[in-house]
Structure 1
Amino acid sequence: MDGARCAEQSGDMHRREPLGGAEFAPETTYLNSASSGLLPRRSADALRAALAESASYGTMGRDYFAAATASRAAFARLLDVPAERVALGSSVTVQSAFVAATLPEGAEVLAPEGDFSSLVNPFAAHPGIKLRTVPLEALADAVRPGTALVAFSAVQSLDGRIADMAAVREAARAHGARTYLDITQAAGWLPLPAADFDFVVAGAFKWLLCPRGTTFMAFGGDFGRGAEWPAALHAGWVAGEDIGASNYGLIQPAATARRFDEPYAHFSYVGAEQSLGLLEELGVETVHAHNTALADHYRAGLAERGLTPRPAPGSAIVSTPGIADAEDRAAAAGVRISVRGGLLRAAFHLYNSTDDVDRLLALLG
Structure 2
Amino acid sequence: MDGDFTGPQSGPMETTESFDSLVRAEFTPRNTYLNTASSGLLPARTVAALHEAVAIRAEGRPLDPLFDDVEVARATFARLAGVPATRVASGPSVAAQSGLIAAALPAGAEVLTAEDDFTSVLNPFHVRGDLKMRAVPLERLAESVRPDTALVAVSAAQSADGRIADLPALREAARAHGARTYVDYSQAAGWLPMEAGADDFTVTTTFKWLLGPHGVAFLVVPEDFGGLSPLLAGWVAAEEPWNSCYGPVTELAHSARRFDVSPALFTHAGVRHSLALIEELGVAAVQAHDLALAERFRTGLASLGHEPLPAPASAIVSVPGLGARQPELSRAGIEVSDRAGSLRASFHLYNTPADVDRLLDVLAG
Which residue number corresponds to residue 229 of structure 2? 231
Which residue number corresponds to residue 258 of structure 1? 257
The answer to whether residue 8 in structure 2 is matched with residue 3 in structure 1 is yes
* Displacement of 1:106: 0.9
Q: Structure 1 185/228 Cα, relative in aligned 2: closer, same or farther at 3 Å? A: closer
* Aligned equivalents of 2:22, 2:287: Cα separation in 1: 11
* Aligned equivalents of 1:136, 1:280: Cα separation in 2: 30
Which residue number corresponds to residue 45 of structure 1? 48
Which residue number corresponds to residue 288 of structure 2? 289
* Displacement of 1:69: 0.3
Q: Structure 1 267/333 Cα, relative in aligned 2: closer, same or farther at 3 Å? A: same
* Aligned equivalents of 2:21, 2:331: Cα separation in 1: 23
The answer to whether residue 304 in structure 2 is matched with residue 305 in structure 1 is yes
The answer to whether residue 168 in structure 2 is matched with residue 163 in structure 1 is no
Aligned 1:338-349 pairs, distance under 5 A: 338-349=337-348
Q: Is the 8 A contact 1:159 1:318 kept in 2?
A: yes
Q: Is the 8 A contact 1:329 1:363 kept in 2?
A: no
Which residue number corresponds to residue 197 of structure 1? 199
* Aligned equivalents of 2:340, 2:246: Cα separation in 1: 48
Q: Structure 1 325/292 Cα, relative in aligned 2: closer, same or farther at 3 Å? A: same
* Displacement of 1:185: 0.1
Aligned 1:258-277 pairs, distance under 5 A: 258-277=257-276
Which residue number corresponds to residue 23 of structure 2? 20
Q: Is the 8 A contact 1:330 1:363 kept in 2?
A: yes
**180-189 vs 127-136, which moves further:** 127-136
Which residue number corresponds to residue 125 of structure 1? 127
* Displacement of 1:248: 1.4
Letter in 2 for 1:3: P
Q: Is the 8 A contact 1:17 1:352 kept in 2?
A: no
Helix, strand or coil at the partner of 1:300: helix
* Displacement of 1:17: 5.8
* Aligned equivalents of 1:152, 1:306: Cα separation in 2: 32
Q: TM-score, normalised by structure 2?
A: 0.93
* Displacement of 1:32: 0.1
Aligned 1:173-188 pairs, distance under 5 A: 173-188=175-190
Aligned 1:143-158 pairs, distance under 5 A: 143-158=145-160
Which residue number corresponds to residue 107 of structure 2? 105
**Per-residue deviation, residues 8-57 of structure 1 (Å, max 9, x unmatched):** 669xxxxx968612100011110000000000000001101111111122
Helix, strand or coil at the partner of 2:9: helix
Q: Structure 1 328/266 Cα, relative in aligned 2: closer, same or farther at 3 Å? A: same
Q: Structure 1 237/94 Cα, relative in aligned 2: closer, same or farther at 3 Å? A: same
Q: Is the 8 A contact 1:19 1:351 kept in 2?
A: no
Helix, strand or coil at the partner of 1:63: helix
* Aligned equivalents of 1:205, 1:323: Cα separation in 2: 26
* Aligned equivalents of 2:297, 2:68: Cα separation in 1: 41
* Displacement of 1:3: 1.9
Q: Is the 8 A contact 2:200 2:226 kept in 1?
A: no
Aligned CA RMSD, in angstroms, stands at 1.9
Q: Structure 1 325/198 Cα, relative in aligned 2: closer, same or farther at 3 Å? A: same
* Displacement of 1:196: 0.5
Q: Is the 8 A contact 1:17 1:354 kept in 2?
A: no
Which residue number corresponds to residue 13 of structure 1? none
Aligned 1:308-327 pairs, distance under 5 A: 308-327=307-326
Helix, strand or coil at the partner of 1:292: helix
Letter in 1 for 2:176: A
Helix, strand or coil at the partner of 2:141: helix
* Displacement of 1:104: 0.8
* Aligned equivalents of 2:242, 2:56: Cα separation in 1: 23
* Aligned equivalents of 2:22, 2:135: Cα separation in 1: 39
Letter in 2 for 1:162: I
Which residue number corresponds to residue 247 of structure 1? 245
In structure 1, list runs of 5 or more residues that go unmatched.
Answer: 11-15
* Displacement of 1:357: 0.3
Which residue number corresponds to residue 206 of structure 1? 208
Which residue number corresponds to residue 34 of structure 2? 31
Helix, strand or coil at the partner of 1:210: coil
Q: Structure 1 8/211 Cα, relative in aligned 2: closer, same or farther at 3 Å? A: closer
Q: Is the 8 A contact 1:31 1:346 kept in 2?
A: yes
* Aligned equivalents of 2:199, 2:90: Cα separation in 1: 17
* Aligned equivalents of 2:127, 2:321: Cα separation in 1: 34
* Aligned equivalents of 1:41, 1:311: Cα separation in 2: 35
Helix, strand or coil at the partner of 1:65: helix
In structure 2, list runs of 5 or more residues that go unmatched.
Answer: none
* Displacement of 1:64: 3.8
Q: TM-score, normalised by structure 1?
A: 0.93
Q: Is the 8 A contact 1:79 1:193 kept in 2?
A: yes
Report how many residues are paired.
355
Helix, strand or coil at the partner of 1:148: strand
* Displacement of 1:65: 1.6
Letter in 2 for 1:55: A
* Aligned equivalents of 2:293, 2:96: Cα separation in 1: 34
